[in-house]
Structure 1
Amino acid sequence: MPQVNLPLPVARAVLHPMFRLMLNKRLPFAVQRTLMDLGAPAQGALRGTHAERVRLGGRPAERVTLGPAIDSATVLYLHGGGYTVGSPATHRPLAGYLARETGCPIQVLDYRLAPEHPFPAALDDAEAAFLELIAFGYQPERIALAGDSAGGGLALALAIRLRDKHGITPAALGLIAPWGDPNEIPERTRDLVINKPWSRACAAAYLGDGDGLDPGYAPMLADLHGLPPTYVQADKGELLHDQCTRLTAKLRAAGVDTRFTETEGLWHVAQLQAALVAPAAAITRELGEFLRQALRPAQTRSIG
C-alpha cells in the first residue's frame, strides 16, 4: 500500500495542471528540468529509501536501496522524460519501490540529455554503464534493464545493442510505457501527462542530425529476436498505449517471452506516484516482482 492513498479523481485533478506547467514546449528544457527536480519530493518515497551517489560508465548515477540488498544482482534503470528532462532525483521514489520488491540495488543512470547531447549520447552512456556493471563483477544474466517512457525505449535500444555488438543478453527488460518509436505522431493532442507539441519537440531534440530510421533511435524498427523476457505496461488512456500494444505484438512474434499489463484510469508512468495512489503502487509492485523473478528465480518475494 502507498504511504498516502489519494482517490484517483483527486490525484488526476492535482497532477494534470502540474504536468501542463512542467512539460510545456514554450519553456526551455533547462527550466523544465528544474521544475521537475523541485517537484520530485512531492511524489513521496518509501521510508528507508537510501540513494547513494555513484559514477557509472563515466556518468553520475544513484544506487538506490531499501533495506538489505544482495550484491550479486542489480537493475540498471533508465529514467523517462523525452530524452530531454528527468533525472535520478525525479525517479528516486520509483527506484525505491523497485529496490524493495527486488531486494537488489537499483542503479539509476544520469545519462546525457538532448538537445545538448542528441542521439546516440544517451544510448552510448547506457551501454557504458552496463559494461561497467559487468566490470564490477555482475554477470550479464544478473543485470536487468528497466525504464519508463523514453527510458523504456532506451532500455529496449540498449538490449538490442548489447545483443548485436557484444553478444550479451540481460536478465530481463522491464518497460513502463516505452517510447519505442519517436518518429510516430500520436493521433490525440494530449493525455493527462504528455502532449503532442512537447513530445514532437523532444523527438526532434533527441534526433538532432541523426537518422530517424536508426534502430538505436527507434528500437521498434529493429529485429527483436533473442531479447530477454520482457514486461510492458501501459494505461489504456495514454498516448503511447497503441504503440505499446504493437510493440508487444512484435515482441511475441519474434518469440520473446512477453508480459503485457494494461491499466485503466491511471496515467502515463503513474508508477512515479506509487507512494500516493494505491493502483499505482500495485502496478509498480507487479514490475518489481517480474524483475525479482528474473534476477532471483530461486527466491520468493519477501512480505512487507
Structure 2
Amino acid sequence: MRDIDLPLPLARAILNPIFRVTLNKRLPFTVQRRLLDVTSRAQLLPAGAVVRPVRLGGRPAERIDFADTSEHGAVLYLHGGGYAVGSVATHRSLAARLARDIGCAVYVLDYRLAPEHPFPAALDDAEAAFLELVATSGLRPDQIAVSGDSAGGGLSLALAQRLIARHGQTPAALGLIAPWADPNEIPERERDLVINRPWSRACAAAYLGDSDSADPAYAPLTGELRGLPPTYVQVDVSELLHRQCVALVAALREAGVHVRFTESKGLWHVAQLQAALAAPAAAALCELAEFLREAIQPADLRELG
C-alpha cells in the first residue's frame, strides 16, 4: 500500500481516541502493550524493507535494511513507551523509513520493560547491545548512531553518557525525538494529544522501582553532557515534553555539544510513527534521517560509493 496524506486535523481526530484508550493509567501495562501492537499494524512498511530477527546483548532485536543498504554504518534504535510499553512492532515502520532514508541498517532493540524490569534494566540492555554491535559488526563506535523517541530518547542520552564514561566510546550521533530526559519532572498540563500526566507519572514510578530518582542515569538531563556527539532534538510545541526538550537543548549547547533543534507546530508526540499517514510527520522523520546520515556517512565517504 502507498502512503496517504491525511489533513492534520483529521489525523489528530482519528488518533485522539486511540491514545486516550491505550495510554490509560487504569489499564494494566500488559493490556496497553497488546493494544499498541495491534494498532501499530496501520503503520506501513516502505517497499523493499527487509526485517530480520536478531539478538543483541542477549535481547531480541530486529535488523531492518534494504537491497542497497551500505555496510559503512548503522543505527541502534531505542523505542519509546514510557519504559513500560512499546516494542519492535510498534516502531518497525519508523525504523524501516530511517533505514531507507539513511542508507544503512537500523537495529531496533527489544529491551526489558518496567515494572517487571525496572531501572537500570533497559539501560543495561542498551549498553550490551551497542557493545555487541561494535564487537561483531566491524564498525567503530563513531560509525554507529543511537536514536530513540520519548523514553527511548532519554534512554539514548543515558546510553551515550554511559558509553563515554565506562568504555570511552562515543557514538556517531544522537537522534532524539521528543526525548523524556528527566522522568522526575511533572508536566504542567494534564495532557497533550498522546501523553497524559497520570499515565506518565505511573510510567516514571514503574521505571524507577526502588532506585534513587537522583541517579543521573535515570534522569540523564541532570547527568554529564560534555563530550556527547552531535545531537538532533525534535519536539512539537504542543507537547507536554516541549519545555523539557527546550531545557535539554539549552543544557547541551551550554556543554558545547553541537545540536540541531527542530520545533514543529501542528504535529503531536512522536508523530513520526504515523509517517505513512501524514506528510508533515514523514518530513520530520526525513530531517532526522538526514542528520544521522551525515553523521554516519559524511559526504566525502558517500561519494566514494
Bin for the TM-score computed over the shorter chain: over 0.9
Could you tell me which residue of structure 1 aligns to residue 114 of structure 2?
114
* Shift of residue 300, structure 1, vs aligned partner: 8.7
Helix, strand or coil: the match of 1:105?
Answer: strand
1:43 aligns with 2:43: yes
CA distance in 2, matches of 1:223, 1:71: 31
Q: Aligned partners of 1:161 and 1:233: how far apart in 2?
A: 23
Q: In structure 1, what is the Cα distance between the partners aligned to 2:57 and 2:291? A: 26
Deviation of 1:298 after TM superposition, in Å, equals 2.5
RMSD: 1.2
Match in the other structure for 2:185: 184
The residue type paired with residue 192 of structure 1 is L
Q: Report how far residue 71 of structure 1 moved.
A: 1.7
Distance 1:50 1:197 in 2: 38
Residue of structure 2 equivalent to 1:96? 96
User: Partners of 1:82 and 1:271 in 2: how far apart?
Assistant: 17
Note closer, same or farther for the CA distance 1:211–1:64 as it changes in structure 2 (3 Å cut): same
Percent sequence identity over matched residues?
68
Q: Distance in 1 between matches of 2:7 and 2:51?
A: 29
Q: Partner letter of residue 293 of structure 2?
A: R
Per the alignment, do residues 280 and 301 of structure 1 end up closer, same or farther by CA in structure 2, a change over 3 Å counting?
A: farther
Cα distance in 1, alignment partners of residues 112 and 250 from structure 2: 31
Question: Helix, strand or coil for the counterpart of 1:71?
Answer: strand
Contact 1:67 1:100 in 2 (8 A): no
Report the counterpart of residue 146 of structure 1 in structure 2: 147
Aligned residues of 1:289 and 1:301 also touching (Cα < 8 A):
no
**2-structure distance, mates of 1:110, 1:204:** 21
Unaligned runs of 5+ in 2: none
Q: Which consecutive residues of structure 1, in runs of 5 or more, have no partner in the other structure?
A: none
Query: Once the 2 structures are TM-superposed, how far is the Cα of residue 43 of structure 1 from its aligned partner?
Result: 2.0
Instruction: Using structure 1 for the length normalisation, give the TM-score.
Output: 0.97
* 148-157 or 60-69, larger mean C-alpha shift: 60-69
**Other-structure match for 1:272:** 273
8 Å Cα contact 2:72/2:297 also seen in 1: no
How far does residue 72 in structure 1 lie from its aligned partner after superposition?
Answer: 2.5
User: Counterpart of 1:12?
Assistant: 12
- How far is the alpha carbon of 1:167 from its aligned partner? 0.8
Aligned residues: 301
Residue in 1 that maps onto 2:263? 262
Q: For residues 18 and 166 of structure 1, what CA distance do their matches in structure 2 show?
A: 42
Match of 2:74 in 1: 74
Misfit runs of 4+, over 6 Å: none
Counterpart residue type for residue 283 of structure 2: A
Instruction: Determine the C-alpha separation between the residues in 2 that align with 1:116 and 1:174.
Output: 27
AA aligned to 2:282 is: A
The Cα of 1:77 is off from its aligned counterpart by: 0.2
> Structure 1 CA distance, aligned partners of 2:232 and 2:72?
22
- How far apart, CA to CA, are the structure 1 residues paired with 2:183 and 2:189? 15
Which of 252-261 and 60-69 deviates more? 60-69
TM-score by length of 2: 0.97
Task: Report Cα offsets for 1:112-147 as digits up to 9, x if no partner.
Answer: 000000000000000000000011121101000000
* Structure 1 Cα separation of the partners of residues 99 and 302 of structure 2: 12
* Counterpart Cα distance in 1 of 2:209 and 2:300: 45
Counterpart of 1:173 in structure 2 is 174
What is the Cα deviation at residue 299 of structure 1? Answer: 5.5
Residue equivalent to 1:197: 198
More off after superposition, 180-189 vs 290-299: 290-299
Q: Match of 2:17, as an amino acid?
A: P
Q: Conserved in 1, the CA contact under 8 Å of 2:231 and 2:258? A: yes
State whether structure 2 residue 186 is matched by structure 1 residue 215.
Answer: no
Give a deviation string over 1:39-84, Cα, whole Å, max 9, x none. Answer: 1111222122221100000000000113411122100000000000
CA distance, structure 2, for counterparts of residue 72 and residue 57 of structure 1: 21
Report the Cα distance in structure 2 between the residues aligned to 1:301 and 1:142, rounded to whole angstroms. 13
- Per-residue CA distance 1:82-133 (angstroms, 9 max, x = gap): 0000001100110011001110000000000000000000000000000000
Which amino acid letter does the alignment assign opposite residue 97 of structure 1?
Answer: R
CA distance, structure 1, for counterparts of residue 195 and residue 43 of structure 2:
18
What is the alpha-carbon distance in structure 2 between the residues aligned to residue 92 and residue 178 of structure 1? 19
CA contact (8 A) 2:182 2:218 kept: yes
Distance across 1 between alignment mates of 2:273 and 2:170: 27
